[in-house]
């Protein structure tokens, strides 16, 4: 199973809040490989793929930062028209709901991280259609 652990970090929607979070990660030697920030009134959610998500989680919790671990999958994408459609169609045909997604440039090529309602079924549907998913060691 190639499920990847993602950090979901709640960040106040104010100047310096992102710098504070990223500074803590820097102090601890934790590298973010990919991230997305979604805003809401009063706070944002920094969704991130870290090189050591469990250590990052513990570090942030120790600093009283609201953080949780979430399962996502990463799918290598063709950098051409229709690449995203092909994966979206597999999910749609299999009845898999995409909650959110974000792109990753990647050292081995582009990929998209997907948060879906059923990661195991999503991986199975993708593999059935000839797609592969990435593991944390692929990133």
Residue-wise pLDDT for 52-69, tens only, equals: 899 999 999 999 999 999
Task: Return the SS3 of 131.
Answer: coil
E-strand ranges in 77-126 read: 98-104, 111-116
Q: Which two tokens stand for residue 3?
A: 């499920």
Do 64 and 120 sit in the same domain of this protein?
A: no
What's the mean pLDDT when you consider all of the chain?
A: 91
Last residue of a domain, one of 30, 49, 70: 70
pLDDT of amino acid 120: 94
pLDDT of amino acid 6: 96
- Tell me whether residue 36 is in a domain: yes
Rounded to 5 degrees, what are φ and ψ at 29? 70, 25
Q: How many domains does the chain have?
A: 2
Rounded to whole angstroms, the Cα distance separating 134 from 137 reads: 8
Q: What number is the average pLDDT over the span 15-40?
A: 89
- For 88-120, what is each residue's pLDDT tens digit? 999 999 999 999 999 988 888 889 999 999 999
Q: Does the pLDDT at position 123 exceed 80?
A: yes
Do 47 and 17 sit in the same domain of this protein?
A: yes
Rounded to whole angstroms, the Cα distance separating 100 from 97 reads: 9
Residue 123: enclosing H or E segment and its boundaries? Answer: helix 119-128
Rounded to whole angstroms, the Cα distance separating 27 from 31 reads: 10
- Tell me whether residue 1 is in a domain: no
End-to-end CA, the chain: 15
Residue 56 domain boundaries: 6-70
Q: From the CA atom positions of the chain, what is the Rg in Å? A: 16
Q: Bigger pLDDT: 124 or 78? A: 124
Do 35 and 80 sit in the same domain of this protein?
A: no
- Write the CATH number for 87: 3.30.2130.10
Last residue of a domain, one of 35, 70, 105: 70
Pair 113, 4: CB distance under 8 Å = yes
Do 78 and 98 sit in the same domain of this protein?
A: yes
Last residue of a domain, one of 45, 70, 95: 70
Do 77 and 107 sit in the same domain of this protein?
A: yes
Do 122 and 111 sit in the same domain of this protein?
A: yes
């Amino acid at each position: 199973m190639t499920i990847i652990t993602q950090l979901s970090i709640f960040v106040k929607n104010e100047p310096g809040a992102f710098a504070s979070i990223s500074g803590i990660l820097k102090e601890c030697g934790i590298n973010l490989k990919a991230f997305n920030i979604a805003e809401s009134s009063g706070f944002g959610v920094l969704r991130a793929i870290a090189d050591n998500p469990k250590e990052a989680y513990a570090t942030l919790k120790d600093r009283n930062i609201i953080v949780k671990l979430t399962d996502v999958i990463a799918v290598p994408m063709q950098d051409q028209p229709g690449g995203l459609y092909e994966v979206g169609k597999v999910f749609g045909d299999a009845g898999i709901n995409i909650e959110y997604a974000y792109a990753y440039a990647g050292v081995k090529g582009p990929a998209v991280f997907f948060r879906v309602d059923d990661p195991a079924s999503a991986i199975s549907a993708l593999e059935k259609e000839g797609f592969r998913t990435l593991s944390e060691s692929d990133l």
